[in-house]
Structure 1
Amino acid sequence: MPYDGHCMCGRIQVSLPQQPSQSLRCHCLGSSINYVLGDSDVTIKDSRLSLKSYGDYHTQSGNIVLRQFCSECGSPISTKSPDFPGKTLLKASLFDEISRPSQEVFTCRRQTWEPAIEGAKQD
């Protein structure tokens, strides 16, 4: 069953073949919960050309990370990183129901009040 989401203003629509069974919690600057998906599994509809990209050079890894967002409402849409070749890190906040995180990255930046994910691989 398709799993559909959208940015806050609705200009950008996102569709997946089904809801991913798990998500990834990232503790980098701009902490987020993401679905790590093959590029071909993500369909982004943007008929009003609102999707914009930002090449983030200020990353802890030193890699240039491509961050995509809606230029109208500012909703983050996805991230592409050399650490995940051929993958899209799609922001889970685009969807009404979010799968529980099973992994987390950049745990060195995890807030002291935030518990670790039980059983998750730590970096």
Structure 2
Amino acid sequence: MSQSSGDPNTYPSSSFANGMTGTCLCKSISVTINDPDLFTKRRGHLCHCGNCRKISGSFASSNLIIDDAKVTIIDHQGTLKKYVDKDTGSGTPVDRYFCSTCSTPIKSTSPRGVGKLSLKMGLFPRIPAPEAEAFSAHRHEWEAGIQDITSYKLGLGGEILKQGQL
């Protein structure tokens, strides 16, 4: 079945025991996560900050903060571009990478997370269950909270509004 079907249930998490690859919409950029523990526990992160909402085109951004050594990005046609986002809630610039052909967000990096990157999980056929959400104070009133995750009022590691049951 084609990944364009969008049905994550056609991909059992066990099929990604040795890694998982996703692409941007035009397939110019491929991203592989090399992490056998990807689906062994909650790993994803949701962000409700205004900037992440804008780059995701949705009410939250689905991310995976991971060691950059566990990720391989291949830019087949030289379309990976960077936007330096200086207007962030933390005051620390965030480098936001995207495909310049199809505009798909790829990853974000920040000097606050040396050796880490934040992958945009919409690239992949299946997304790990989230363990935490940032800027949960910025959720829309119609958004239901996700059970069993830690909700941070603003940035990850800050004030906790709700402790998850991991």
Bigger drift between 4-13 and 28-37 goes to 28-37
Which residue of structure 2 aligns with residue 25 of structure 1?
46
2:72 corresponds to 1:40: no
Alignment of 1:12-91 (within 5 A): 12-18=29-35, 20-21=38-39, 22-29=43-50, 30=53, 31-91=60-120
Structure 1 unaligned regions, length at least 5: none
Q: TM-score, normalised by structure 1?
A: 0.92
Amino acid at match of 2:129: R
- Structure 1 residue 11 and structure 2 residue 28: aligned? yes
Match of 2:144 among 91, 115, 119: 115
- When normalised by structure 2's length, the TM-score is 0.69
The residue type paired with residue 26 of structure 1 is C
Over the matched positions of the two proteins, sequence identity in percent amounts to 37
Higher-Rg structure is 2
Residues 102 and 117, structure 1, Cα contact 8 Å, conserved in 2? no
Counterpart of 2:130? 101
Structure ranking higher in helix proportion: 2
Give ranges in structure 2 of 5+ residues lacking alignment.
Answer: 1-17, 54-59, 153-166
Moved more, 3-12 or 82-91: 82-91
Aligned residues: CA RMSD: 1.4
Separation in 1, partners of 2:137, 2:113: 19
SS at match of 1:40: helix
Q: Which has the higher strand share?
A: 1
The whole-number CA distance in structure 1 between the counterparts of 2:136 and 2:123 is 23
CA distance in 2, matches of 1:109, 1:81: 21
Contact persistence 2:35–2:70 (CA under 8 A): no
1:9 alignment partner, SS class:
coil
CA distance in 2, matches of 1:23, 1:73: 24
